[in-house]
Amino acid sequence: MSSTDHVNETKSFTFGVFPLGLSGGPDGVAAGPPDDFEQMGLAMKRLQGDGEPLLIRWYISWTGAESTEGALQHIGQMASIPASWDMVLCYRDPRGDVNAWIDFVELVVTRYGNHLSNVQVTSEVNLVGLPEAADGSSPRAIEALVKGVIAAGRAKRESDRNVSIGFAVVPEIDPHSGTFWPSLAKLGGTEFVDSLDYVGLDMYPDVFGGRIVKNELASATEQLLHSFREIALPIAGIGPNVPIHICETGWPTGPERSEEHQSFAIETVLRTAYANRFVLNVTHWELFTLRDADSSKDNIFYQFGILRDDYSPKPAFERLCQVLAELR
Residue 268 lies in a domain: yes
Residues 6+ apart with CB under 8 A from 23: 29, 30, 288, 289, 293, 301, 302, 304
What is the Cα–Cα distance from 230 to 39, expressed in whole angstroms?
Answer: 41
**Could you count the other beta carbons within 10 Å of the beta carbon of residue 69?**
11
- Under the banding of pLDDT at 50, 70 and 90, the label for residue 11 is low
Average pLDDT over residues 192-217: 96
For the stretch 231-236, contacts whose Cβ atoms lie closer than 8 Å and that sit 24 or more positions apart, written own/partner, are 231/175, 231/176, 232/171, 232/172, 232/175, 232/181, 233/199, 235/175, 235/176, 235/181, 235/182, 235/184, 235/185, 236/181, 236/184, 236/185, 236/188, 236/192, 236/193
**DSSP bridge partners of 57:** 86
What is the Cα–Cα distance from 257 to 263, expressed in whole angstroms?
Answer: 11
- Under the banding of pLDDT at 50, 70 and 90, the label for residue 6 is very low
Query: 104 in helix, strand or coil?
Result: helix
- Under the banding of pLDDT at 50, 70 and 90, the label for residue 26 is confident
- Letter string b/e over residues 230-259, b meaning 16 or more CB atoms within 10 A of that residue's CB: eebbebbebebebbbbbbbbbbbbbeebeb
Residue 39 lies in a domain: yes
Cβ proximity of 316 and 259 under 8 Å: yes
Residue 2 lies in a domain: no
Q: What angle do CA 50, 250, 90 make, to 5 degrees?
A: 95
* Bridge pairing between strands 84-91 and 118-123: parallel
Average pLDDT over residues 121-126: 98
Residue 242 lies in a domain: yes
Report pLDDT for 210: 86
167-200 pLDDT, tens per residue?
Answer: 999 999 999 999 999 999 999 999 999 999 999 9
Which among 119, 138, 135, 115 has a CA at the least distance from the CA of 127?
Answer: 135
Question: DSSP secondary-structure letter at 215?
Answer: G
Res 7 pLDDT > 90: no
Report pLDDT for 246: 98
- Under the banding of pLDDT at 50, 70 and 90, the label for residue 137 is very high
Average pLDDT over residues 217-223: 98
- Under the banding of pLDDT at 50, 70 and 90, the label for residue 234 is very high
Cβ proximity of 2 and 272 under 8 Å: no
Report pLDDT for 209: 87
CATH number reported for the structural domain that contains residue 223 in this entry: 3.20.20.80
- Under the banding of pLDDT at 50, 70 and 90, the label for residue 4 is very low
Report pLDDT for 283: 98
What is the Cα–Cα distance from 165 to 195, expressed in whole angstroms?
Answer: 7
To the nearest whole percent, how much of the chain has pLDDT over 90? 93
To the nearest whole percent, how much of the chain has pLDDT over 70? 97
Residue 6 lies in a domain: no
Res 133 pLDDT > 60: yes
Report pLDDT for 27: 85
Phi, psi of 311 (to 5 degrees): 70, 15
286-327 pLDDT, tens per residue?
Answer: 999 999 999 999 999 999 999 999 999 999 999 999 999 999
Largest CA distance in the chain: 52
Question: DSSP secondary-structure letter at 311?
Answer: S
This prediction's pTM = 0.95
Mean pLDDT of all residues belonging to the chain? 95
What's the domain count of the chain? 1
The whole domain housing 127 covers 11-327
Residue 4 lies in a domain: no
Average pLDDT over residues 220-227: 98
What is the Cα–Cα distance from 175 to 231, expressed in whole angstroms?
Answer: 7
**DSSP bridge partners of 202:** 248
